[in-house]
Each structure stands twice: as C-alpha cells, then as structure tokens.
Chains A and B, each alone.
Chain A
C-alpha cells in the first residue's frame, strides 16, 4: 500500500494521484492523520475522510493519543513511525512545506529510512526503486535521484508533475481509529502558544510587490518604493543585500532564504537578479526591472526592462500616475466618455 500523511485540515489534490501512480496493481492507497483522544477529533476526521473518499482513497487511519491533539513534531513523527511499522507501506507521502517535511523527517530518522524532499516528479521502477526529481535551492537546480528502501518517504511539491493515472471512482473512506504509543517525554517539543498573524497584505500574498536592492542606495531610498507600492495596492520587498545592510527587515526579503512570491506584478529596483533572488520572484506573472546596468541578469529575464537610476525613474513614474489620475479625460479613450 501507499500512505498519504495529512498534517493539515485539507488534503493536497496532487498527493492521491502521485500515490496511485506508484502503487502496484493490487496495492491500496490509504491515508493517516493525527488526533488527540477527545471527541472533536472525530469531526475533523469525518471531513477529511469525505475529501479523501472523493479522491478514491479507501481508508483513513487516525493515530490517536493525548499528545497528538496539537501540532508536536516529535510526537507526530514518532506516531507516524509506529503507523509505518504496523502498516508496512511501500511509500509515504506528505505535501512539501514545513509540517509535512518535518513530520516525515522525524519518521524517517526513527525508522532509519531515506526521505526525498521537494519532489516535482516521482516514478516507480521495476525493481522497487523510485526515480524522483527534486528541486534544490528553491528551484535553482533539479536533482534526479534514486530512492531505494523497503519504505520510501517523499515530500511532494505543489508544482509536481501530476501523473496520468486512471481517475479513481469516488467512494466511502473508512475511518480506522487506532491508539498509538507516544513516549511521554516527547511532550517537550509541543507548541505551547500560537499567536495569530496580523491580517492585511503580506509579502507572500500581495498582488503587487515593489522590491529594492543595493541599487536603492540606503534605507531612506525606500521611501519612493513605499509610495509606489501603496499607489499600486502592494507591499515593499527587498534583496538580501538590503536586509544584510539593515535597510529593511528580513521579513521583506524575497528569495531562497526569504519569501517566495507569485505576484501579478513584481517590480525589481536596483536588483541584479542573482539566482537565489530570482527563484523567489520567478513565479510572478509580470516582472518589471529597473536598473542602471542593461546587462544585469534581472534586465534579461524580466518581462519589461527600464534602463536607468531608480531615483530618477520611480519619481517620474509616480508623477505620471498622478498626472493621469488628475486628468482622466486625457488618458482614457474617447469612446468611453459619456
């Protein structure tokens, strides 16, 4: 059987298809999630089972223990290791992302098993070896690798190539509750406090990001980027040079070790376009580069390029926006006027 690990309230749609494509002819695809010993765990499991049933997954194992009621990496990992030992699946999948990767790494370490993270392609071989492609450094490189073990673990990136497998008919997903042993000392790494994030535009989800790098020249230089971002309904981002110089806080950093974004519009001001920055912004629909150096990689890879000094170009752009806003008649085609 193949086992899908569910660490959140929803199931990633790609996982059942990936698991199905790696399952042998007579192998089932099942799922596992975690719950405390209380009654409210039941509702969550029923919702998940409905969703999984829709993907043709026939059984949801609910690992239950008082220590599993809230996210606890070591306890969840140890419970997963116990379930793996009992069910002996040939493959175990979780979505890439913090929880999935963390829980699988714990289970892999406990079971002495290999784990391939951030897989974008997974295929089975005749000898039971899997051939996977994983992304390295946030997508800078692709790594082709082989995974060989009695139980193979993988985290699956959202961008995975979804394999062409016959659609599984939707059906009932049976809930199997099973108490697991969790060593009591694993309570040591439970989340003891959650603080909800402030609502509002965040770098990760903003439709527009106006980002600045070394070329902005200093912390004060970001004022004009702030103004443009506000005008466009977006937020300000930055490169690692801006962070390292203390011009911007790290939460503004776009890139491999910052935030990965997929904005409608990304404006890169005085940013050269190093690979580690590029992988953070490359999923944006439109990229506009403003740079004094026409040869800068960002100027080559962007959708639009403006050659020039940020502090000349941006004030002129703001002035032009204001000018058009003040004389709408002049800026709009005549037929739209009444």
Chain B
C-alpha cells in the first residue's frame, strides 16, 4: 500500500492577515508556516493505512526550498520519505501547481493511493487534485470524510452532501481529496521530530508554464462591524445578557 500525500506550505496567521505593500501577497516576514488542516488529516490517514496494510508513505510539496519544513513535519508524523518540487514559490496557479506535482510524481513508483486536501488552506482552488488525477488517469473523489479499504482491495469513501451521506466504492490505484474530520491527526513525537530533521529529501526542480488564471493582487474584505457593545463583567452581566436574549425573542 504505497501512498503519496500532497501537502502545501501555507502562512499561519492569527486575527489579522498582513499583506505586502503592493498587495501582491501575504506578508510572511513575521509569520510562521504550516500545512492545512485537510492535508494534516491526509497525512494522518496515510500513516494509519500504511501501518495497517504495510507500505510506504511519501509526502510531496511544491514550493520554495523552505517547504522542506512542512515535509519534515509530515515525516515526524510518520511519513517515510519526502519529495520537494522546487519551484521557488507556492504562488502558482492551479494548472502550474498540477504540472509541478506531476513532475514530482514522475520518478516515483506507481502509488496505490494519492491523497490531497479538498482545498489548499490559502488559495483554496479545489482543483489541483482533480487535475493531477486526470493526467495520471486515476479515478478521483473529493470531499471525503470517511475512508476504508474493502476486503476486495477497493476503497470505500464517504462524504457529506447537503442531503446526507454519499458512498463511493473506488478501485485502486486512485486519488482521494479529503477533508478535516476524517480523523484526529497526531502531534509528532520528539523522537519523530529528531529523526525527521536528519531525513534526506529528494528534490526535483520544476519551472511550470503558467495556466490561464493569473492573480493580480490580494485585498482584505471591508469589515463594517462597528465594535462591540460591552454588557458588563462576570456574573454581573447576566441581566444585560438576558435583556439582549429577550429582545431577540430567544427567551
């Protein structure tokens, strides 16, 4: 059961999102980086599947050299090897990102399963996985929050829809885009982190052609909320709170 998981290096921000002066990107000078929650679940699932069924987990990231940090985090979670597709940046359009992922997959043995996040945490195009799967002629399902291997060796993948739950039964090799909620990702252990620090990453360089979606700039949406009305402190605020609830017709 060889599994590849595609993870993206994304800025981790708090309540404010700093932008560069020209508005072309998130200003990451004072930010840390992380992998998105959907992708964290993808790594966790891969590690669990590989330990239950045998096999190796390869994590792959397209970005600058620093994306090695995110690959090492996944290695510390239990992935076995990392592939860095060095494009110098993560700010690529989805067609170019897919091309770069394919370049990274080209020299890997055919995996049984390729896992993606349902959407990247920063750009959220929701399409890189589908583009990669199509180019590799793999069946692909997205939005998955339940994954099992059948006795027959095919996948049982479930997802939530507005009307209920949908079940797919997909033959392998396959690609699956997963969502947070699939599992509860582990925190890497200290020995895991130390081992990952020393691991060798395979690097592929790639300079993909841009696709037809070109980012011009980023903006913060207008925030027209007018500042909170204070209702008091501690238990003493209770009457004012219940007045509000009554005004809203909730009590």
Contact = CB atoms under 8 A, between A and B. Distances in A.
Interface of A: 71, 73-74, 98, 101-102, 105-106, 108-110, 112-118, 131, 135-149, 152, 188-197, 208, 231-233, 240, 243-244, 246, 250-251, 253, 256-258, 264-265, 272-275, 278, 286, 288-289, 297, 299-309, 312-313, 315-317, 319-321, 324-325, 331
Contacts of B229: 303-305
Contact of A106 (B130, B160, B218): B130
Given A108-B127, A145-B214, A313 B228 contact: no
B88 interface: no
A264 B248 CA distance: 8
Nearest to A78: B134
A188 B170 contact: yes
B134 A110 contact: yes
Contacts of B135: 109
Interface of B: 13-17, 19, 26, 36-38, 93-95, 98, 121-127, 130-131, 134-135, 139-143, 160-161, 163-171, 179-181, 184-185, 211-221, 223, 225, 227-239, 241-242, 244-246, 248, 250-251
Going nearest first, the 9 A-B pairs with the smallest beta carbon separation are A114-B212, A250-B181, A297-B15, A316-B235, A316-B238, A308-B234, A305-B228, A149-B212, A193-B167
A315 to B, nearest CB: 8
B125 to A, nearest CB: 6
B247 to A, nearest CB: 9
A109 to B, nearest CB: 4
Contacts of B134: 106, 109-110
A308 B15 contact: no
Contact of B37 (A208, A240, A325): A240
Nearest to A8: B162
A197 B165 contact: yes
A291 B228 CA distance: 13
A74 B139 contact: yes
A74 B250 contact: no
Interface hub of A208, A232, A240, A257 (most chain B Cβ within 10 A): A257
B231 A306 contact: yes
Nearest to A325: B251
B220 A142 contact: yes
Nearest to B216: A144
Given A258-B180, A288-B244, A313-B234, A114 B170 contact: no
Contacts of A102: 126, 130, 142-143
Nearest to A77: B130
A321 B15 contact: no
A295 to B, nearest CB: 10
Contacts of B225: 301, 303
Nearest to B222: A142
A313 B170 CA distance: 51
A308 B233 CA distance: 6
B234 A194 contact: no
B160 to A, nearest CB: 8
Contact of A301 (B143, B166, B220, B228): B228
Nearest to B177: A102
Nearest to A132: B213
A78 to B, nearest CB: 10
A117 B228 contact: no
A192 B167 contact: yes
13 contacts: A73-B142, A136-B218, A143-B219, A189-B168, A192-B168, A193-B167, A194-B164, A196-B164, A244-B185, A286-B244, A304-B228, A306-B237, A317-B241
A133 B170 CA distance: 36
A299 B228 contact: yes
Given A193-B167, A300-B227, A320-B242, A73 B212 contact: no
Given A145-B216, A146-B214, A246-B184, 18 more contacts: A73-B142, A74-B139, A101-B126, A102-B143, A113-B212, A136-B218, A138-B124, A189-B168, A191-B167, A192-B167, A197-B165, A244-B184, A304-B228, A305-B228, A306-B241, A307-B233, A308-B235, A320-B242
